[in-house]
Amino acid sequence: MTDTAVEIDVDDAAAFTPAVSGLIGSLGGGWMISSQAKAFTIEHGLRGRQGYVLGRGSVLGDVDADVVTSAFGFWPADVIREAWDGGRAVLDVATARPAYAETCRSWGRARLAGLADPGRLAELLSWVVDGLDVAGLPLFAGWRAVPLPADDLGRAYQLLQVMREYRGGVHLVASLASGLTPLQAVLAGPGGEGNAAFFGWEPPFEAAYPYSGTRTDAETLTDRLVSPAYDILGHDERTHLLTLLHSAAAQANATKPA
C-alpha cells in the first residue's frame, strides 16, 4: 500500500471520493491521446478530431451531432458536428464502437501489464459500476453497455473508462447547475485558455478569474454527487480499491508508451 493510500481516511467521503476520482480521471483518460488512439484514427481513414469524437460518441448510436454535443458538454457544437458528420461519412458508428473500445483495452493491457491483481480491480469497479443510475448520463450509460472482454487487464481498464465517463457526466451536470456555461467551465479549469483552444473554442476569451470560485463549487458538488457511488464498498474494499488505483497509476507512468 502506498503512503498516500495510508494517509487517506477511506471512510471519509470528502477525502476518499476526490482521491479515487483523480486517479480514475488520469488513468481513464490516458488512452484517448495515445499512439493506439492515433492508430485507430489513421487505420480507419479518419482525421483530426474525427477519431476521438466518433469513437467516444459511438456508444450513443447513429444520432444527430446535437445529441453528441449534449453528451460531450464542454465542446463547441460546430466542432462536434464537423468531426461527427465527417467521421460518419468515412466509418459507420456500429463499426467504430467495438473498434474504439478495443483501442481502449489495448492501451490498458500495454500500460498496466505489470499490475498485480487486475482481476480484483475489475471486480471492485464492476460492483460500483453495476449499481449506478444512468439518469442524465448518456455517455456513461453507453459505455457501460459495451460488452466487457474476458481478460482481467482489458476488463479492468474498460471499467476505468466507464467510471471516468460517470464522473465526467456528473461534472457536466454540476457545472451547468452551478451557473457555468461550457466555455466558462473550461476556461476556469486546468489548462484554461490553452484547453479551450484545444477543444476548438475560438479566442478572444473572456477572463476566467470571475468563475474560479464557481468552478470550485462545481467540483465540490460533483464530488458530493459521486460519493454515493462508493457506498457499496466497505472499509476494506475501499482501501483495496485505492491501493490498486495507486498501483495502476504508478505502473502506467512507469511503462514506456507503445
152-177 vs 118-130: helix axis angle to the nearest 10?
40
Q: What's the burial of 3, exposed, middle or buried (CB within 10 Å: 0-12/13-18/19+)?
A: exposed
Contact 121, 244 (CB under 8 A): yes
Contact 188, 212 (CB under 8 A): yes
C-alpha–C-alpha distance, residues 85 and 64, integer Å: 8
Contact 137, 111 (CB under 8 A): no
Q: List, for residues 154-194, the tens digit of each pLDDT value.
A: 999 999 999 999 999 999 999 999 999 999 999 999 999 99
- Long-range contacts of the stretch 93-97 (C-beta < 8 A, 24+): 93/54, 93/58, 93/61, 93/62, 94/62, 95/44, 96/44, 96/54, 96/55, 96/58, 97/58, 97/59, 97/146
pLDDT at 107: 95
pLDDT at 257: 67
pLDDT at 30: 82
Q: What is the mean pLDDT of the chain?
A: 95
Q: List, for residues 10-47, the tens digit of each pLDDT value.
A: 999 999 999 999 999 989 888 998 999 999 999 999 99
Reported as a pLDDT band with limits 50, 70 and 90, residue 1 is very low
What average pLDDT does the segment 109-126 reach? Answer: 96
